[in-house]
Amino acid sequence: MTDYRVCFLNDIPRNDKLFRCCQRSFVVRSSQSPDEAAEAAKREFAHLEGIRDWRTHAAQCEIQPIELEARHLGGGGPRVVSDTPRERSVVHGEG
């Protein structure tokens, strides 16, 4: 199982330049694949933004594997385990 950071991004044009802005970032813990991590983060992003489809508030999502320090966590479905203003962690197999 791998940990992933999933960032939701928009490209914003300003003065003939394009700026990539992160709308929200999630850490998905113990995911079996990048696709599974992305799907969990998309559901959480939509839920937190109060929308049905994540693409309403972001143009793209970017996924990268990361290394996190080990922690003991319980079982069940995905859940938020840390909460900062723009970054949350989603855990698979926990509840």
3-state secondary structure (DSSP) of residue 58: coil
Q: What is the pLDDT of residue 53?
A: 96
- The answer on pLDDT for 5 being more than 60 is yes
pLDDT single digits (tens) 14-48: 999 999 999 999 999 989 999 999 999 999 999 99
Q: What is the pLDDT of residue 30?
A: 86
pLDDT single digits (tens) 50-71: 999 999 999 999 999 998 765 5
Burial 54-80 (b: 16+ CB within 10 A, else e): beebbeebebeeeeeeeeeeeeeebbe
Which region, left, alpha or beta, applies to residue 50 given φ > 0 means left and ψ of -120 to 50 means alpha? left
